[in-house]
Amino acid sequence: MTLLHDIANELAGMFFADARLSGAVLALVLIVAGLTNSLGVEPLIGGGVLVAGCPLILVEAAFRDARRRRRS
């Protein structure tokens, strides 16, 4: 049981380590889900938005972290 607890703590720590990154990815997923379910956008287009959006969010987070480290 300790192993499962340790794994859960690690996953939670990774998720909450950068709240802006996690929030941006969740927002992107919610937007794509809304587009595909509510507006009837093709799922392939929604997948393309996810494929393009997730790396862009990651690059933005990396640049933000680099600027923060450069200042300190």
Taking only the tens place, the pLDDT of each residue in 4-36 is 888 888 877 777 777 888 899 999 999 999 999
3-state secondary structure the chain: CHHHHHHHHHHHHHHHHCHHHHHHHHHHHHHHHHHHHHCCCCHHHHHHHHHHHHHHHHHHHHHHHHHHHHHC
Single pTM value for the model: 0.75
Q: For residue range 39-59, what is the model confidence (pLDDT) as tens digits?
A: 999 999 999 999 999 999 999
